[in-house]
A and B are shown apart, each in its own frame.
Chain A
Amino acid sequence: MGFLEALGQYPFLQYALAGGLLASLGCGLIGPFVVVRRLGYMAGGIAHSVLGGMGAALLLGAGPFTGALVAAIAAALAIGLVKLHLRHDEDTVIGAVWAVGMAAGILFISRLPGYNIDLIAYLFGNVLMVSPADLVRMASLDGVILLVLVLSFDRLVAVAFDPEFARLRGVPVDAYYLLTLCLVALSVVLLVRVVGLILVIALLTLPAAIARQIHVSLRAMMATSCLLGALFTTTGLALAYHRDWPAGATIILLAGLAYLLVVAAGALRRRPAR
C-alpha cells in the first residue's frame, strides 16, 4: 500500500503527519532566532533537561507533556538568569542543566513501578504515537509562539541584533532575552514528541541554517524554515513508512542531507572561477 493510500486509511498516520506539520511551524518560526543568535547549544541543554521534567511528572501522576513544558521553561529561565546575573561561564551552566536534567529523568523513571516506560520514545521520538490530545497541545504551543511573535517581533529582533543599543533606547533587554529563551523552550517541547529530545537541535537549526543560505531577512528565513520543516517531516514520514525505518531518525537524516547539499552548492558557487 502506498503512503498516500495508507494516509487515507489509518488515523495514526494522519495524526503523525499533522504532528509533524505543527512542529514544523513552531520550529520554523523560532529556528532562525536560534541560528542567528547561536543558541543551538542552549536549545540542546533545554531539550535534554526535558527528560527530568517528564520523569518527575510521571512519578507524580501528571502527564509527560506538562512535565516537559515546565522543565523546558525552568531550564530556559535558569540558564538565562545565571547568564544575566551571575556572569558564570554560559557553557558550563548549559552543560550542567543538560546532564543534570537527563540524570534526574533517568532516576525518576527508574523509580516508577514496573519500569515499563518507553525511554527510547522520549529520547528519539515516536511520531506514530501522536494522539488527538497531543495535537491540541501542539497547536496551542504554536498559537502562543505566533502570538508572541506578532506582538513583539520588532523588539525581539532588535534585542537579538544589538542588545546594547536596544537597552540605550529604553527596551527592557533582559526581559526580551528571557522571552526569546522561553520561545526556544516552547519549540523544543513541540519537537520532542516528533523527533525525540536528542534529535531536537537538528530540526530546530537545520531548516533555518538552510534558509539563511538563501535569504537576507529574518522574516523570509522564518517562512522558508517552516516550509522546509514541513517538507522534511512529510517526506521523512513517507520514507519511514515505506522502508519501515524509525520516523524521527529518517526526518533528521533528510534535513542533514539537504543542509549538506546546500552548503556544498554554496561553497562551489562562491569559489572563484579559474
Chain B
Amino acid sequence: MSAAIRLHGVSFSYDGHRVLEDVSLEVPAGEFLGLIGPNGGGKSTLIRIILGLLRPDSGTVELLGLPPEEGRRRVGYVPQFAGFDREFPVSVEETVLMGRLPARTFGGYTRADREAVARLLEELALEAYRTRPLRTLSGGELQRVLIARALACDPELLILDEPTANVDLRGEQDIFGLLARLNQRMTILVVSHDIGFITGYVTRVACLNRTLLCHGTGELDRAAIDHLYGGHVHRIRHLHEEG
C-alpha cells in the first residue's frame, strides 16, 4: 500500500511572504499523525495544499497515490469551526448528507445516501439530534456532526483542522477517543495547537513552523520546542545555567 500523503519539497508564499519552505512529508497508510505548530506557522496552508485547494509554488503533492484534485474524493475533511455559518437553516441529517456529495446532477441524494447517513448517525450516537438545526448544538455536538459528515464518503484518510478548538475538556477526550477508534480503519491527520494533549493519542508528531520537523511520540524534546518557539525557551534555559 502506498503512502496516504506524500509531499516533496513543497514551498508556498502569500504575496511574497514565505509561509512554507521545502516541506517534505510522507504519511504511511494507517498512521495517526499530529501536526502542531504556532499560529501563522503554515498548518492550515499545508492542509489546503494537501487537499488541492492551493497549488504550491514548487514541490510535488500526492494524495492516496493521486494528484490532490483526484485523491481528495476519498478523503474526509473536517474544517475549522470558524469557517462556516452556524445560523444556516440546515439540520444535522442534511449536514451529514453533504458528505455524500456530489449527489446526482439531477435529483440529488439517493435512498442509499440517506441509509448510509442513518447508519453513521447511529455509530456516532447522533440519532437523537437528526432533525435538530445546527444552531442549537453545543461545540462538542457540532464537532461530532462535522466528523460524521467527513466520514459519510467512507474515506481512507481523515483530515481534521483544530477539531478541539471550541470543545470543553470532556468533549476533547471524547473526540480523541473517537479518532483513536477510527484510526483502526483509516489514516488520520489532525492539526492542533495543543501539544500536551495530542501526544497521548497520535503515533507521530510533525512540528510545522514554516519548515517541518518530525518526531515519534515521546521524542518531543528540546530540539522540537526550540524549533517551534525559538529563542524564547533557549533564553530561559540559559538563565537557569547562570543561576
Interface residue ranges, A against B (CB under 8 Å): 32, 36, 151-155, 157-158, 160-162, 164-171, 212, 215-218, 221
CA distance A32 to B87 in the complex (A): 13
Contact of A170 among B83, B101, B106 (CB under 8 A): B101
Min CB–CB distance A167 → chain B (angstroms): 7
* Beyond known contacts A155-B101, A161-B90: 7 more, CB 8 A cutoff: A154-B97, A158-B103, A164-B79, A167-B53, A168-B72, A170-B73, A218-B90
A217 touches B88 (CB 8 A): no
Set of chain B residues within 8 Å of A171, measured between Cβ atoms:
101-103
- For chains A and B in complex, what number of residue pairs have CB atoms within 8 angstroms? 80
Q: Does B15 touch A at the CB level, under 8 Å?
A: no
Measured between alpha carbons, how far is A155 from B94 in the docked complex, in Å?
11
Nearest 10 CB-CB pairs, A to B?
A: A154-B108, A169-B101, A216-B133, A151-B106, A170-B102, A171-B102, A158-B98, A154-B103, A162-B84, A218-B89
Distance of A258 Cα from B76 Cα, bound (Å) = 44
Q: Determine the chain B residues whose CB is within 8 A of the CB of A164 once the complex forms.
A: 53, 79, 83
Q: With both chains docked as a complex, state the minimum distance between the C-beta of B141 and any C-beta of chain A, in angstroms.
A: 15
CB of B47, distance to nearest CB on chain A (Å) = 11
Find A154's partner among B72, B95, B109 (CB 8 Å cutoff): B109
CA distance A157 to B101 in the complex (A): 11
Interface presence of B163 (CB below 8 A)? no
Interface residues of B (CB under 8 A from A): 51, 53, 72-73, 75, 77, 79, 83-85, 88-91, 94-95, 97-99, 101-103, 105-109, 133, 135, 149, 153
Inter-subunit contact B85/A161 (CB<8 Å): yes
**Contact residues in B for A154 (Cβ distance below 8 Å):** 97, 101, 103, 108-109
- A161-B90, A217-B133, A218-B90 are known contacts. Are A169 and B99 too (CB-CB below 8 A)? yes
Q: Which residues of A contact B149 (CB under 8 A)?
A: 165
> Quick one: which of A157, A168, A216 contacts B51, CB cutoff 8 A?
A168
Give the residues in chain B near A166, CB-CB below 8 Å. 98, 101-102
B180 to A: closest C-beta gap in Å: 24
